[in-house]
Amino acid sequence: MPEAPASRHPALVHFALAMGGFAIGTTEFATMSLLPYFAKGLGVDEPSAGHVISVYALGVVVGAPLLAVAAAKLSRRTLLIALMASFALFNGLSALAPTYGWMLVFRFLSGLPHGAYFGIAALVAASLVPDNKRSQAVGRVMLGLTIATVIGVPLANWMGQAIGWRWGFGVVALLAMLTMALVYWLAPADEAPKGASPMRELGALANSQVWLTLGIGAIGFGGMFCVYTYVASTLLEVTKVPAGMIPIALAVFGAGMTIGNIVVPKFADRALMPTAAVLLVWSAGALLLYPLAAPNFWTICLDIFAIGIGGSLGAVLQTRLMDVAGEAQALAAALNHSAFNTANALGPWLGGLAIAAGYGWTATGWVGALLALGGLAIWGWAFLADRGSIRRVAAAAE
């Protein structure tokens, strides 16, 4: 195989990295909409099939730090290709899973590369632009995930209805293989960071600001997942629309996320932490309105769009971790996606408790708003701790 070019224009590299985000976003979000189909296909009830989603999220939470530490001495391009190779393999096996038990195994293994890929991709994207455009670079990578919610998820949902749920996982495997080729040809050839080692990466765990930033994502992002997980049921049971309208609502949510990841990072590059706070307040407000908007299809779509905009918090917190992680960049970057998948588990669980307690499908909006406000409280803690640290440094210098 001929050697890849040493470097390319940053926009081309960002496109290659975003393609991986598109593959990951398609499988992460589409699995929720495919649940009724693979539950029937594997011969289990829908609550049991929901564990397939949970084990994927668990794989992300576990895999992100383990792979980031274990692969500390690999070049970033090599690591990205290897992560996509494993992602392609296990999604392909998910499409062929003969039983529910094997499906659980393959979905857990599929989740392992997710967080490490996004974390390393964000570092590569940011390294190609000036410091004052890092959030925008990370946002471009995340566009792959958000565009997946506009195109990939509705397409996978349609495929699940028309030609079988297994194709929803098979096409993700093909997208991952395409990403491998694009990263090989477009990403710059590099070497592992000088002095990189597993122990240096583990140094991120001793940094309180890293943990606080992760906490903002793990709690604050839970509100979005709380609503998104049950939005199809809400549309059917509360809004009373036919099933064919669900992909439209999912696409509207994805459009909100996409626009958020284009616009919001521009503000984050000027004022990072204030932008994070505004997003959490925005999310809390949109989630509070959800129960009021749910009875009408057009108002719920408008509110879902607003909730989707709050999804740009991911790119903002990714940049924040670059600022506070010191030399442990890979682990901190990967842990961001462990935090978001913690939110992916926490939000639906709490929302499910509210529904089971008899508060109705729209109670997810109230639960989600509380989670967003919880993230804002952790943001306040991080902000005050940061200000205190700056004052101590200034006092020591006098």
- Is pLDDT at 197 greater than 90 in this prediction? no
| Confidence tier at 181 by pLDDT (50, 70, 90) | very high
| The token pair that represents 141 in the structure block | 């990578």
Residues whose CB falls within 8 Å of the CB of residue 388, separated by 6 or more in sequence, listed in order? none
In degrees and rounded to multiples of 5, residue 195 shows phi and psi of: 80, 10
Position 307 scores a pLDDT of 95
- Is pLDDT at 90 greater than 50 in this prediction? yes
Of residues 35 and 129, the one with the higher pLDDT is 129
| The token pair that represents 225 in the structure block | 């997942």
Q: What pLDDT digit, counting tens, does each position of 268-315 carry?
A: 988 889 999 999 999 999 999 999 999 999 999 999 999 999 989 988
Domain architecture of the chain: domains with CATH: 10-397 (1.20.1250.20)
Position 176 scores a pLDDT of 95
* HEC-encoded secondary structure of 319-361: HHHHHHCCCCHHHHHHHHHHHHHHHHHHHHHHHHHHHHHHHCC
- Is pLDDT at 392 greater than 60 in this prediction? no
- Look up residue 148 and give its amino acid: A
CA dist list (Å): 170 to 87, 97, 183, 282, 313: 11, 11, 20, 37, 30
